[in-house]
Amino acid sequence: MATKKDLKELSKDFEEIIKVIIGESAVTIARMVYNNPGITDMEISQKSNLKVNIIRKTLYFLYNNQLAYYKRVRDKETGWFIYQWYLQPNNLKKFKDEMKRRVLKKLQERLEYEKMNSFYRCINREHMRMTFDEAYENNFKCKVCGAVLEYEENETIKRVLEAMIERVGRDC
């Protein structure tokens, strides 16, 4: 059984994660839903002065990731359906695990891409990086400024990706 302290830490963790992924407004929305179970998007808008489309986008993100759910009820006055929202902070661990799996997959794909290709970059370092095939198609000249492309070693990138994969993989 979770203690009150555990729930506070989970709530803080929940807030930090959605702040990073969605933004500061998501924290405001999540707090309102958490403190007012069954609140509607319009009520959140009235209390927070946030635009309804931002609120709905946040709520649907939470819903699609099983961090919130809604109940659809018919408004007796208008006959329209309204959606009452509830948070599911207990699903946070499952969400974090899924996000780690996605990140791990992306890192592995990027590492494979780095291993399978040779790269060339414009002598003006801020311009784009190209694979050998792209560079060949452009006669080893930069698409932006026309300068000659130079071979770029990617061993450091591969080592960093391998270290990140190892670190994320330990947590999965």
DSSP secondary structure code for residue 123 in this structure: S
pLDDT tens, residue by residue, 27-77: 999 999 998 999 999 999 999 989 999 999 999 999 999 999 999 999 899
Residue 92 lies in a domain: no
| Residue type (1 letter), 91 | N
The last residue of one of the domains, among 87, 113, 130, is: 87
Residue 5: count other Cβ atoms within 10 Å of its Cβ: 8
Query: Where would I find the beta strands (DSSP E) of the chain?
Result: 68-74, 81-87, 119-122, 129-131, 149-152
* Greatest C-alpha distance within the chain: 71
Q: Are residues 51 and 109 in the same domain?
A: no
**Mean pLDDT across 141-146:** 92
Domain that holds residue 50: 4-87
Q: Are residues 141 and 82 in the same domain?
A: no
Q: Are residues 149 and 115 in the same domain?
A: yes
Residue 101 lies in a domain: yes
Q: Please give the tally of structural domains in the chain.
A: 2
The last residue of one of the domains, among 55, 87, 119, is: 87
Model confidence, pTM: 0.69
Nearest to 58 by CA among 28, 78, 36: 28
Nearest to 170 by CA among 103, 120, 121, 116: 103
Residues 6+ apart with CB under 8 A from 116: none
